[in-house]
Amino acid sequence: MTSSNPWSLTISEAHLLLARKQLSAVELTESVIQRIKQTDSKINSFISVTEESALKSALNADSILARGEGSLLTGIPFQAKDNICTTGITTTCASKMLENFVPNYDATAITKLKSTGAVLLGKGNLDEFAMGSSTENSVFFPTKNPHDLNTVPGGSSGGPAASVSAEQCLFSIGSDTGGSVRQPASFCGVVGLKPTYGRVSRYGLVAFASSLDQIGPLTKNVQDSAFVLEAISGNDPKDSTSNTEDVPAYAEYLDGDVKGLKIGVPKEYFVDGMDSDVANTVRSSIKTMEDMGAVISEVSLPHTSHALAVYYIIAPAEASSNLSRYDGVKFGYSHSESTDVWDALEKTRQHGFGPEVKRRILLGTYALSSGYYDAYYLKAQQVRSLIRQDFVKVFKDVDIIIAPSTPTVAFPLGDKISDPVQMYLNDIFTIPANIAGIPAISIPAGLIKDMPIGVQLMGPHHSEKTLLKTAHAYEQAANHGFLKPSIQE
Ligand code: GLN
């Protein structure tokens, strides 16, 4: 373990040094901020860096630690995706619409992290309103993949994934509506977890599609993911969809023992024409799990092929309703040159939203309009139930499911931006978990031609303990460690 480059530490390593007083929270934060300054002109993972308030929080963390108090995350610097509300710090959603929006409250996940003494460094870039798979839909700038600056980091949590990969923070939190934590985690070689729907409060997460949205951690390894999940989970009276289930100390279950664990391989996730390198990587992960004593069997999720279509009705429908609040009156961007109130509304939305957001609003409004509601929205909800039932059935026979996280490794910047359907196809393996509300994790499975690729584990509602335990055992057995990109400073 080294403290000469504190930015390169994992959460548990940093915690040990902080607890032993071999490193102070201020030193750690300064080191991470230095790292951001040296690398972010190339990566562009941060929309804002809040150096002054970060150093203040670090000072406060040091006094907590000096009293012998605090917990694992005390003094640990983190980033939050810029669609998660932070008091006094702009929360832009990478949109012109919220460019100058400064919330006067924290999201519950932020409140919880702050209460542990974790240090907020700033806000991470994303596709506008979390709509996209490459972070190219940010109104500010695209984020680059630290493993190859000519490729995308994935999206919509591209900033969070890239910042963890480039070691500009010890962890980040993102949001996952259709894969936005797991897909960029796969592309950037980090661990990304989407918890069970309702495990983490959505209060203060700017709404995209409320029946699918969920906040989740991006970390360098599985143990860190367990620490962060524990800190942000729990019931919240401010979010009526948040669960009342107890929050276990997830990290205590990472004992490496997966003997006899039943793992299902859904045949619908290994289809003709899929990238053979990705298929081979997942197959070799399956072999590793088998060697660890897991029992592998083939399972079937017959409605998988409809998941993407269902998502692209339900998510835009909910988005069109959620985004109707941006009217230029209550908060956010307001177009100033207009003749009357309707003209103002039209111009505000015309100039405030980017093309992908407008596309989703159009799709959603169409799907919800009378005459089409039954044919599209209602039908999509019915198929959603069938997809959910597929999982319920399969989880009677197996404990968890293994599948690819993404159909390919990271693609070049600009490659898919003019072809929305190609972009949407990126989420083909991640969307079903959101539709069913189940937890899923993407963990690094190795490199394909020098680019990282993840493998995905899914489990029944509230199976995070099993998912993390399996992911951790796999991580130890696969033994490729944190996939460090080589960034020239
Ligand atoms: N890429 C998907 C979309 O564009 C998922 C986004 C997300 O999970 N926020 O909708």
**pLDDT higher than 70, residue 248:** yes
**158-185 pLDDT, tens per residue?**
999 999 999 999 999 999 999 999 999 9
Contact status, residue 314 vs residue 209, Cβ threshold 8 Å: yes
**297-308 pLDDT, tens per residue?**
999 999 999 999
The reply to whether ligand 1 has any atom less than 6 angstroms from the CB of 108 is no
Q: Tell me how far the alpha carbon of residue 134 lies from the centroid of ligand 1, in angstroms.
A: 10
Lowest mean pLDDT across 97-101, 263-267, 268-272, 333-337: 268-272
| SS (HEC) of 229-298 | HHHHECCCCCCCCCCCCCCCCHHHHCCCCCCCCEEEEEHHHCCCCCCHHHHHHHHHHHHHHHHCCCEEEE
pLDDT band at 337 (very low <50, low <70, confident <90, very high): confident
Q: How far apart are CA 124 and CA 92, in angstroms?
A: 10
Choose between 1 and 128: higher pLDDT: 128
Residues 414-420 have a mean pLDDT of 94
Which atom of ligand 1 lies nearest, measured to the CA of 155?
A: 1
Q: How far apart are CA 81 and CA 138, in angstroms?
A: 12
Q: How far apart are CA 439 and CA 430, in angstroms?
A: 11
The reply to whether ligand 1 has any atom less than 6 angstroms from the CB of 130 is yes
pLDDT for position 488: 58
Q: Report, as residue numbers or ranges, the catalytic residues.
A: 81, 156, 180
Whole-structure pTM value: 0.97
DSSP for residue 181: T
Counting beta carbons within 10 angstroms of the beta carbon of residue 479, is it exposed (0 to 12), middle (13 to 18) or buried (19 or more)? exposed
pLDDT for position 271: 76
**39-95 pLDDT, tens per residue?**
999 999 999 999 999 999 999 999 999 999 999 999 999 999 999 999 999 999 999
pLDDT band at 489 (very low <50, low <70, confident <90, very high): low
Contact status, residue 65 vs residue 74, Cβ threshold 8 Å: yes
Residues 432-461 have a mean pLDDT of 97
Bridge partner list, 124? 46, 81
Joined together, the tokens standing for residue 416 give 């898919």
Residues 6+ apart with CB under 8 A from 424: 133, 308, 312
The reply to whether ligand 1 has any atom less than 6 angstroms from the CB of 156 is yes
Q: Tell me how far the alpha carbon of residue 294 lies from the centroid of ligand 1, in angstroms.
A: 32
**pLDDT higher than 90, residue 370:** no
DSSP 3-state assignment of 89? Answer: strand
Q: Per this entry, what is the length of the chain?
A: 489
pLDDT for position 274: 79
The reply to whether ligand 1 has any atom less than 6 angstroms from the CB of 319 is no
The reply to whether ligand 1 has any atom less than 6 angstroms from the CB of 169 is no
**pLDDT higher than 90, residue 330:** no
**pLDDT higher than 90, residue 410:** yes
Contact status, residue 182 vs residue 175, Cβ threshold 8 Å: no
Joined together, the tokens standing for residue 392 give 């319920």
Mean residue pLDDT across the chain: 96
pLDDT band at 3 (very low <50, low <70, confident <90, very high): low
Q: Tell me how far the alpha carbon of residue 164 lies from the centroid of ligand 1, in angstroms.
A: 20
Q: Tell me how far the alpha carbon of residue 209 lies from the centroid of ligand 1, in angstroms.
A: 10
Site of tokens 């997809």: 387
Domains of the chain, start order: 6-260+399-478 (3.90.1300.10), 305-378 (no CATH)
Contact status, residue 140 vs residue 148, Cβ threshold 8 Å: no
Q: Which of 127, 193, 431 to mutate to test the pocket of ligand 1 (most atoms within 8 A of CB)?
A: 127
pLDDT for position 87: 98
Which atom of ligand 1 lies nearest, measured to the CA of 209?
A: 9
pLDDT for position 24: 98
**pLDDT higher than 90, residue 336:** no
**pLDDT higher than 80, residue 481:** no
pLDDT for position 180: 98
Residue 145 sits at φ, ψ, to 5 deg, of -75, 120
Joined together, the tokens standing for residue 231 give 């800190």
Residue 186, preceding bond cis, omega within 30 degrees? no
**pLDDT higher than 70, residue 2:** no
**Strand pairing class (400-404; 46-49):** unpaired
Residues 199-227 have a mean pLDDT of 98
Q: How far apart are CA 185 and CA 129, in angstroms?
A: 19
Choose between 2 and 150: higher pLDDT: 150
Q: How far apart are CA 459 and CA 395, in angstroms?
A: 8
Residues 6+ apart with CB under 8 A from 113: 73, 78, 120, 173, 231, 232
At 385, which helix (H) or strand (E)?
Answer: helix 379-394
Residues 313-337 have a mean pLDDT of 94
* Residue in 281, 289, 298, 303 with CA at minimum distance from that of residue 406: 281
C-alpha distances in Å from residue 340, one per residue of 323, 337, 349, 351: 21, 9, 14, 16
The reply to whether ligand 1 has any atom less than 6 angstroms from the CB of 427 is yes
Residue 202 sits at φ, ψ, to 5 deg, of -90, 0
